[in-house]
Amino acid sequence: AIQMTQSPSSLSASVGDRVTITCRASQGIRNDLGWYQQKPGKAPKLLIYAASSLQSGVPSRFSGSGSGTDFTLTISSLQPEDFATYYCLQDYNYPRTFGQGTKLEIK
């Protein structure tokens, strides 16, 4: 199975900050990667698909980049509602595998 490694595991930041989360795949996955946001007690929400395509309705402050093994999720200017846990997911092959998550907390 492809292993997805996210970094950092947790991150403290302030409203207005620019934040970058990284996801590394144990082998090349083209651009078959999505980013998900999860708030406590809620289901995950798709933010980015195909590494860099913004899901409909998601604010433009979220962006994704990367291909092959290295990917990033960037939030250009943190808003209070962005404090959550973020997961990457590869859908290049089976089994689909998630990163371990990055918890974004308020500084």
For residue 81, which phi and psi values (nearest 5 degrees)? -75, -5
Q: Site map for other proteins, 41-60, x if CB under 8 A?
A: -xxxxx-xxx--x-x-----
Instruction: Indicate the residue among 14 and 56 with the shorter CB distance to other proteins.
Output: 56
Based on CB atoms, which residue is closest to other proteins, 24 or 45?
45
How many C-beta atoms lie closer than 10 Å to residue 49's C-beta?
18
Residue nearer to other proteins on the CB measure, 1 or 106: 1
Contact letters for other proteins, residues 3-32 (x by CB under 8 A): -----------------------------x
Q: What single string gives the DSSP state of each residue in 42-105?
A: S--EEEEETTTEEPTT--TTEEEEEETTEEEEEESS--GGG-SEEEEEE-SSSSPEE---EEEE
Strand-pair partners of 12: 105
Q: Which is nearer to other proteins, 19 or 34 (CB)?
A: 34
Residues of this chain that bind other proteins (CB under 8 A)? 1, 32, 34, 36, 38, 42-46, 48-50, 53, 55, 87, 89, 91, 94-101
